[in-house]
Amino acid sequence: MRVFHDRLISVEDKEWILDFIMELLQKNFRSTLTKDELFGEKKVLFSDILKLEASNILYEEIKDPAKLVKSLKNYLEDYNSGDSTTMKMNLVLFDDAVDHMLRIARVLRQPRGNIMLIGVGGSGKQSLIRLCSFLYDMEFKQIEITKDFGVESFRDFIKELMMKAGIEGKKVSFALTDSQILNETFVEDINNELNTGEIPNLMNEDDMNIINNDMRPIINEMGKEETPDVIKQVFVERVRANLHVCLCMSPVGDTLRVRCRNFPSLVNCCTLDWFSRWPEEALLYVSSEFLKELDLPSEEVRASLAKMCMRIHTSVEDQ
């Protein structure tokens, strides 16, 4: 499912692979489960989100989806009540959003876990990354575009992230959207980092001296030889394990296709998650959530307004 299903871009293709999986289950395992039981409203879900505060975190089946949603809402409240400098999020956790969140969480919990989220702007990609980063106590980072921001500024930013991940051992999630890519060199550098954990000519002599000095206690604790090659190898391994690249790309136009062709590590080293158009049920749920606090004449009016908002949204998408 994660390897093939999430990469598919159309509802028809996704339905085809679900039917194919059902065919294989019935043929090879004589399964009596129905498609609705596995992939329908009560589909099978796995995550460790319900056990994050336990001493022994387990990646296990979630048998109570309502409990999962309640837990995520609690984490969202904790996020919004935290640091005053943190951007507050007003998320509505409908089923499709929760599904995408579980996929992102599955990637971020793994060493060398990187992800590319593909979908039009406004589909909630960055917000879900922020919340997932908060769940796993990761430092969420994004570049801030200014008029003077260029390749050198970007490289300095990436260098800082690599130092945090490699020397300090901090878990960092770095979100980069296609609107923030001011120069294709940005993508080339990310491609190199994904592929090898290094970016050519990023570290100068002073940077390498800092790495060699600050990594020595870590090397000693690991019982390894304190040679420059070993220090560099361990530093790179820690960067690849702790720095999680989260790319948010739009499928509109040829830009994404060209980048994936020119920089193959974007595909080879990232888990892909395609954000399809939100279904009408999800849009109706979102509009109902935003309207539930309003003082309206009746519940019938509230329901009618929710449907109207949903239809306005879908009509704009269809244009």
Q: What DSSP string describes 194-236?
A: HHHS--TT-S-HHHHHHHHHHHHHHHHHHT----HHHHHHHHH
Region 40-54: what's the mean pLDDT? 82
> Do residues 180 and 143 touch, judged by C-beta distance below 8 A?
yes
Beta-carbon count within 10 A of 48 CB = 18
Which stretch of DSSP H or E encloses residue 243? strand 243-249
Record the tokens describing residue 18, joined without a space: 């679900």
DSSP β-bridge partners for residue 55: none
Region 217-228: what's the mean pLDDT? 92
* Selected residue with higher pLDDT from 55 and 145: 145
Query: What span, in angstroms and rounded, lies between the C-alpha atoms of 211 and 203?
Result: 10
Region 267-279: what's the mean pLDDT? 88
pLDDT value for 30: 86
Selected from 3.40.50.300, 1.10.287.1770, 3.40.190.10, 3.40.50.720, the CATH number assigned to the domain covering 64-277 reads: 3.40.50.300
Query: What span, in angstroms and rounded, lies between the C-alpha atoms of 193 and 236?
Result: 10
What one-letter code names the amino acid at 252?
V
* Selected residue with higher pLDDT from 26 and 7: 26
Percent of the chain with pLDDT over 70: 97
* Selected residue with higher pLDDT from 4 and 60: 60
* Phi, psi dihedral angles at 48 (to 5 degrees): -110, 10
Confidence of residue 256 (pLDDT cuts 50, 70, 90): very high
Alpha-helical regions (H) of 40-171? 65-80, 95-108, 125-135, 151-163
pLDDT mean across residues, the chain: 90
Alpha-helical regions (H) of 109-150? 125-135
> Do residues 307 and 293 touch, judged by C-beta distance below 8 A?
no
Question: Where in the chain are the domains?
Answer: 64-277
Query: What span, in angstroms and rounded, lies between the C-alpha atoms of 33 and 20?
Result: 14
Query: What span, in angstroms and rounded, lies between the C-alpha atoms of 205 and 230?
Result: 17
- Burial level of 51, CB count in 10 A (0-12/13-18/19+)? middle
